[in-house]
Amino acid sequence: MHEEVKGVLPQDEGVFPAGTPYDAFDPELMLWTMGVLADSSRVCFETLVRPLADGEREQLWQDWVRFGELFGMPRSVAPATAGDFDAWLARHVDGPDFHVTDEARIVGRAIAHGSPVPAPLKPGVKVTHFLAIGMLPPRVRRAFGLRWSPAHTAAHGRLSAAVRASQHVVPDRLRIGPNDDLFRMVSAAERRILAAGRKTIDLPAA
Q: What is the CA radius of gyration of the chain?
A: 19
Question: Residues 141, 108: contact at Cβ < 8 Å?
Answer: no
Q: Indicate the domain borders of the chain.
A: 22-94, 102-195
Rounded-to-integer distance, Cα 105 and Cα 97, Å:
16
Q: What is the pLDDT of residue 206?
A: 39
pLDDT in tens, the chain (206 residues): 888 999 999 999 999 999 999 999 999 999 999 999 999 999 999 999 999 999 999 999 999 999 999 888 999 999 999 999 999 999 999 999 999 999 899 988 888 887 777 788 788 889 999 999 999 999 999 999 999 999 999 999 999 999 999 887 777 766 666 677 778 888 888 889 889 998 876 654 43
Q: DSSP letter string over the chain?
A: -GGG-EEE-SS-BTTBPTT-EEETT-HHHHHHHHHHHHHHHHHHHHHHT-PPPHHHHHHHHHHHHHHHHHTT--GGGS-SSHHHHHHHHHHHHHSTT----HHHHHHHHHHHH-----GGGHHHHHHHHHHHHHHS-HHHHHHTT----HHHHHHHHHHHHHHHHHTTTS-HHHHH--HHHHHHHHHHHHHHHHHTT--SS-PPP-
